[in-house]
Amino acid sequence: MKRASLFFSVCLALAASLALAGCAPGGAASATASPSPAPQTAAPAADETAPSPSPAADPASSPEDAAGGGILVAYFSNTGNTEEVAQQIAGLTGGTLAEIQRAEPYGDLRQEAEAEIQNGERPAITVSVDDVEDYDTIFVGYPIWWDEAPAMIATFLESYDFSGKTLVPFCTSASDSIDNSLHIFSELCPDAAIAQGLTANDPDDVEPWLQGLGLPA
Ligand SMILES: Cc1cc2nc3c(=O)[nH]c(=O)nc-3n(C[C@H](O)[C@H](O)[C@H](O)COP(=O)(O)O)c2cc1C
């Protein structure tokens, strides 16, 4: 009986150590594979590796490492100019496009859009992806309206927790630069890193700007 019990204990110990040896590499493999473009898998993979991040996952806070694995290109475009830039950025970075739209289309665009910016309104929006918070780097594009971002962009910035994320503003305009519109980013997302924005009226400016940010282009 004693002998049988000892044999059983040894088997049990062997089985346990084999099982442990099998799990560890599996966990490490999923951590290094996590910078895949699939947004749904990004968050769970990060959670799984959180207690003991692998060396490959460690420096993932830099834009370079987030590239291709966690880039969202969110934009609102009324007449298509900003959308073209968004598509260019997504093509160069491998990012996922997300269109922001006003839930209720404007009646009199000029009158209503100006009033909602001036009054600090937050019109309801729709966003074409529902996993915005799974991304680490979020481009936010819009046309300049009265030297500001459309009120929809403020709604977007307030709708998610962007703490610890990198927001990258870009715009198109008739002539004004992005500068005057940028204040809402730091006001509404004080815990996000705000990258250098771009007034993207010349498509040739986009690639050098991305390279300057350390993103693939
Ligand atoms: C309501 C409205 C207000 C605008 N205000 C400005 C402005 O203050 N400064 C500017 O340079 N362009 C202004 N524009 C021009 C747009 O920013 C420009 O055409 C932009 O590229 C449009 O982008 P979209 O095609 O993505 O909508 C305005 C356009 C509209 C419709």
Residue 211 DSSP SS3: helix
Answer yes or no: is 55 within a domain: no
pLDDT computed for residue 57 by the predictor? 29
Say which CATH number the domain at 84 has: 3.40.50.360
Q: What residue owns the CA closest to ligand 1's atom 29? A: 145
pLDDT at 171: 99
Tell me the per-residue pLDDT of 145-159, one tens digit each, with 9 for 90 and over.
999 999 999 999 999
Write the pLDDT tens digit of every residue in 140-196.
999 999 999 999 999 999 999 999 999 999 999 999 999 999 999 999 999 999 999
Confidence of residue 20 (pLDDT cuts 50, 70, 90): very low
13 and 74 both lie in a single domain: no
Would the CB of 143 count as within 6 Å of ligand 1?
A: yes
Q: Which domain holds residue 20?
A: 2-49
Query: Between these two residues, 24 and 74, which has the higher pLDDT value?
Result: 74
Are residues 90 and 142 part of one domain? yes
pTM above 0.75, yes or no: no
- Identify the residue whose C-alpha is closest to ligand 1 atom 2: 145
Q: How far is the CA of 73 from the centre of ligand 1 (A)?
A: 20
The pLDDT value recorded for residue 123 is 98
Residue closest via CA to ligand 1's atom 7 equals 146
The pLDDT score that the predictor gives to residue 111 is 96
The DSSP string of 16-66 is HHHHHHHHHHHHHHHHHH--SS-HHHHHHHHHHHTTS--TTTTTTTSHHHH
Distance 147 CA to ligand 1 centre (A): 8
Mark whether 162 and 208 lie in a shared domain. yes
